[in-house]
């Protein structure tokens, strides 16, 4: 099973020639469909190519819930194979070349149980397979603070009595360019191969080991765990899948195993730095994932399918490790599996209990002193905390933005204006989500109109919200503003960033250095606060030069002055905020994702308010709010409004007043809101 946007290559040809098996290739919109259809014609007895049109014609609920240009479209192929009666899925990437001996004799290989000497909850199998470079090596997704901890890899190996049929997931290591993270690739030598041959290692139940989608055999009892999450990057998706599946398998009779390399990977071109960014969750959230899994139990469930949905719900609602679209996708997946007659494994008699996981002390070697335990220095975090002024700590921030737009040429030359703005956003944000809202029937989605450097950018993702989806979510026909509220909440939900900006497609945002400095300053304020950025309307000619510049604001040039202090106004459920930065009229609203969640995103009662500051601020700030004005500009590329048929105009500077509501509560109103 493979998904690809690349051409037919030697790895795929080798797989078809070597195995008595059916190959299902899941295409994407960028795939060369004619080449793969010709390959299917030449190997009609063993190859099925699912083009985008073929996928949309399938009777699976998941088809509509998996975005295009995402690694997760493999999941459609997994369902296709399940319907076809497949007993084993070989999930592989098209740069992994099967060795001549393949894996057909795998059942005769030596099987070993890995017994750890301590109560550690993670196991790194790579060192046991004898890496040729004799360096420390670990699989992608392994918690970084444990990579030098000996008891996570120095296991006692005992001959295993586990039946081969119970090994529901068998991960092959890969020679030459094994599956490791970007930190390893940037700091260690490659290529590297593994010298231990024809060996299968079986970790203990209750010990986490990540497996991946590079080259893995999954037998039918574990097909339920093949679904790939879609609200995280491809570099994270298969690892989150592996941990979820592993935890669920512990409550059955089936196990995970690691095998000596039966593939050689000649890796497709990758940027290590792009991989590093895309793997952010693996470095910073893997401990949260493992703790969430360890704190969950299937005890209240009578079926594994029910437990599966419950676990995904926890990871979405309680832990924020997956987005809500993954919960909808998981429910569709379970429904599809039931429809095609898939039989879930039964629970074993004794299930895993909840537990608290071991934590590694994070120590700074400079503080150990002459009498300190020098070995503790090996356990120091590989991503040290950055200490800011005043003794406060500031974690590395992932900054994302989303826009809501549609293919209706609003304001004239929407594509031209948006091209300028989105090029800037791609440069500034780690992640850009484009929510296509109600594009007229018969016209292509908005992103398809933009130049390839935007539509194909690694950090951009498109979500299309149809009128049918809107009506289903809201339970009624969609008014324009209510439609936009829903679309903005979807943009929030799709974002995986720490700080999220809600903006529009013709807004040229401030430089990254300016935003980083504002976030830092706002985070250091002792009181709850909002930061207002000046919004300036500019002609398209001027916008072009601004969009391509890195920004003139240096970090030393960003200043914020206190403007208004407001007392006694209502805020609703908002708790402790980290950052709140608002540009009026909905053009630039930025907050930490935790705050977006606490206030519930954009509420229905904002209908008619045009997303103005008065609504948003009144829900974000505490009773002792402080408003700050930064000397940083948000530029709006001029357009002609459809409603008024004249150039939009805005006050260049905000002025604030406190307005009393009918119920006696108070809120902030700005001159921009009045305009």
Res 342: pLDDT: 96
DSSP 8-state assignment for residue 122: B
Whether the predicted pLDDT of 533 surpasses 80:
no
Three-state SS at 226: helix
* Main-chain dihedrals φ then ψ at residue 571, nearest 5 degrees: -125, -10
Signed CA dihedral, 409, 415, 416, 421: sign only: positive
Res 565: pLDDT: 44
Adjacent-strand bridge partners of 192? 176
Res 357: pLDDT: 83
Residue-level length of the chain: 675
DSSP 8-state assignment for residue 97: E
Q: Are 500 and 401 in contact (CB under 8 A)?
A: yes
Q: At a CB cut-off of 8 Å and minimum separation 6, what does 339 contact?
A: 59
Residue 504 lies in a domain: yes
Res 505: pLDDT: 84
| Token output for 656 | 């604030």
Same domain membership, residue 272 and residue 152? yes
Whether the predicted pLDDT of 443 surpasses 80:
no
Same domain membership, residue 439 and residue 312? no
Higher per-residue pLDDT: 36 or 536: 36
CA–CA distances in Å: residue 241 to residues 286, 306, 372, 512: 12, 17, 40, 33
- What is the average pLDDT value for the chain, to the nearest integer? 78
Same domain membership, residue 275 and residue 241? yes
Q: Are 122 and 209 in contact (CB under 8 A)?
A: yes
Same domain membership, residue 436 and residue 322? no
Residue 361 lies in a domain: no
User: What is the pLDDT confidence band of residue 416, given thresholds at 50, 70 and 90?
Assistant: confident
Which of these three, 17, 52, 86, is where a domain ends? Answer: 86
The number of distinct structural domains making up the chain is: 3
Adjacent-strand bridge partners of 432? 401, 460
Same domain membership, residue 468 and residue 440? yes
Res 160: pLDDT: 97
Adjacent-strand bridge partners of 627? 530, 564
Q: At a CB cut-off of 8 Å and minimum separation 6, what does 651 contact?
A: 671, 672, 675
Residue 351 lies in a domain: no
Higher per-residue pLDDT: 458 or 129: 129
User: Among residues 293, 298, 202, which one has the least CA distance to residue 251?
Assistant: 298
Res 70: pLDDT: 85
Render 180-221 in DSSP notation, one character per residue: --HHHHHHS-S-B-B---SEEEEPPTT-B----SSEEEEEGG
Residue 378 lies in a domain: no
Same domain membership, residue 110 and residue 82? no
Res 518: pLDDT: 80
User: What is the pLDDT confidence band of residue 562, given thresholds at 50, 70 and 90?
Assistant: low
Q: What percent of the chain has pLDDT over 90?
A: 39
User: What is the pLDDT confidence band of residue 538, given thresholds at 50, 70 and 90?
Assistant: confident
Whether the predicted pLDDT of 525 surpasses 70:
no
Same domain membership, residue 98 and residue 74? no
Whether the predicted pLDDT of 560 surpasses 50:
yes
Cis status of the peptide bond prior to 191, with omega within 30 of 0? yes
Whether the predicted pLDDT of 670 surpasses 70:
no
Higher per-residue pLDDT: 504 or 239: 239
Which of these three, 283, 304, 334, is where a domain ends? Answer: 334
Same domain membership, residue 125 and residue 54? no
- CATH code: domain of residue 523: 3.90.550
Same domain membership, residue 160 and residue 246? yes
Whether the predicted pLDDT of 226 surpasses 60:
yes
Range of lowest pLDDT (407-411, 444-448, 501-505) = 407-411
Residue 353 lies in a domain: no
Whether the predicted pLDDT of 554 surpasses 60:
no
Side-chain-side CA neighbours of residue 474 (13 Å): 23
Res 612: pLDDT: 39
Distance (Å, whole) CA 294 – CA 345: 21
Residue 375 lies in a domain: no
Same domain membership, residue 408 and residue 450? yes
Distance (Å, whole) CA 268 – CA 553: 38
CA–CA distances in Å: residue 440 to residues 172, 443, 467, 595: 47, 6, 10, 33
Same domain membership, residue 617 and residue 473? yes
CA–CA distances in Å: residue 206 to residues 255, 309, 311, 376: 11, 20, 16, 25
Whether the predicted pLDDT of 384 surpasses 70:
no
Q: What percent of the chain has pLDDT over 70?
A: 71
Domain extent, residue 167, equals: 94-334
Same domain membership, residue 126 and residue 60? no
pLDDT in tens, 583-636: 545 678 888 877 776 666 665 443 333 333 344 444 444 444 566 667 777 777
Distance (Å, whole) CA 64 – CA 54: 13
Distance (Å, whole) CA 15 – CA 104: 12
């Amino acid at each position: 099973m493979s998904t690809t946007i690349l051409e037919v290559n030697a790895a795929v040809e080798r797989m078809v020639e070597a195995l008595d098996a059916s190959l299902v290739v899941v295409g994407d919109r960028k795939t060369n469909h004619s080449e793969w259809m010709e390959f299917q014609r030449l190997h009609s007895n063993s190859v099925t190519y699912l083009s985008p049109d073929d996928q949309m014609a399938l009777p699976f609920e998941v088809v509509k819930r998996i975005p295009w240009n995402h690694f997760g479209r493999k999941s459609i192929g997994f369902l296709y194979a399940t319907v076809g009666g497949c007993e084993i899925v070989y999930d592989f990437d098209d740069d992994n070349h099967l060795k001549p001996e393949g894996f057909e004799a795998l059942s005769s290989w030596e099987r070993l149980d890995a017994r750890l000497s301590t109560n550690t909850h993670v196991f790194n199998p790579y060192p046991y397979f004898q890496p040729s470079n004799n360096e420390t090596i670990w699989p992608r997704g392994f918690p970084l603070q444990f990579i030098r901890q000996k008891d996570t890899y120095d296991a006692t190996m005992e001959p295993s009595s586990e039946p081969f049929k119970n090994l529901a997931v068998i991960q092959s290591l890969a020679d030459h360019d094994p599956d490791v993270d970007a930190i390893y690739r940037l700091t260690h030598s490659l290529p590297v191969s593994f010298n231990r041959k024809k060996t299968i290692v079986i970790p203990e139940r209750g010990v986490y080991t990540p497996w991946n989608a590079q080259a893995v055999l999954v037998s039918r009892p574990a097909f339920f765990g093949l679904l790939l999450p879609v609200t995280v990057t491809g570099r994270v998706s298969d690892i989150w899948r592996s941990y979820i599946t592993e935890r669920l398998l512990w409550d059955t009779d089936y196990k995970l195993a690691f095998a000596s390399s039966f593939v050689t990977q000649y890796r497709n071109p990758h940027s290590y730095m792009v991989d590093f960014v895309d793997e952010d969750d693996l470095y910073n959230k893997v401990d949260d994932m493992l703790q969430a899994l360890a704190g969950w139990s299937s005890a209240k469930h009578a079926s594994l399918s029910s437990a599966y949905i419950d676990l995904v719900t926890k990871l979405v609602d309680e832990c924020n490790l997956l987005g809500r679209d993954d919960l909808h996708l998981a429910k569709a997946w379970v429904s599809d599996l039931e429809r095609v007659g898939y039989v879930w494994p039964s629970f074993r008699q004794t299930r895993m209990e909840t537990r608290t996981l071991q934590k590694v002390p994070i120590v700074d070697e400079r503080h150990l002193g002459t009498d300190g335990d020098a070995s503790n220095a090996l356990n120091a975090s590989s991503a040290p905390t950055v200490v800011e002024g005043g003794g406060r700590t500031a974690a590395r921030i992932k900054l994302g933005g989303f826009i809501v737009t549609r293919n209706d040429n609003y304001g004239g030359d929407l594509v031209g204006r948006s091209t300028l703005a989105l090029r800037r956003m791609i440069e500034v944000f780690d992640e850009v989500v484009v929510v296509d809202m109600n594009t007229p029937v018969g016209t292509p989605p908005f992103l398809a109109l933009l130049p390839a450097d935007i539509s194909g950018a690694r950090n951009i993702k498109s979500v299309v919200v149809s009128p049918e989806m809107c009506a289903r979510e809201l339970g009624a026909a969609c008014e324009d503003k209510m439609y936009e509220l829903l679309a903005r909440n979807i943009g929030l939900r799709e974002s995986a960033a720490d700080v999220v900006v809600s903006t529009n497609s013709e807004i040229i945002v401030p430089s990254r250095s300016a935003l980083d400095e504002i976030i830092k300053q706002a985070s250091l304020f002792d009181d709850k606060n909002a930061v207002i950025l000046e919004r300036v309307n500019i002609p398209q000619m001027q916008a072009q030069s601004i969009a391509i510049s890195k920004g003139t604001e240096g970090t030393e040039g960003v200043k914020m002055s206190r403007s208004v202090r407001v007392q006694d106004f209502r805020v609703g459920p908002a708790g402790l905020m980290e950052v709140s930065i608002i540009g009026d009229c909905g053009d630039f609203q930025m907050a930490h994702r935790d705050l977006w969640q606490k206030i519930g995103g954009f509420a229905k009662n904002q209908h008619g308010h045009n997303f103005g500051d008065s609504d948003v601020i009144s829900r974000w700030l505490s009773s002792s709010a402080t408003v700050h004005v930064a000397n940083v500009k948000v530029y709006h590329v001029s357009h002609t409004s459809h409603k008024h048929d004249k150039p939009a105009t805005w006050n260049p500077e905000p002025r604030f007043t406190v307005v009393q509501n009918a119920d006696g509560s108070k809120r902030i109103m700005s001159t921009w809101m009045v305009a």
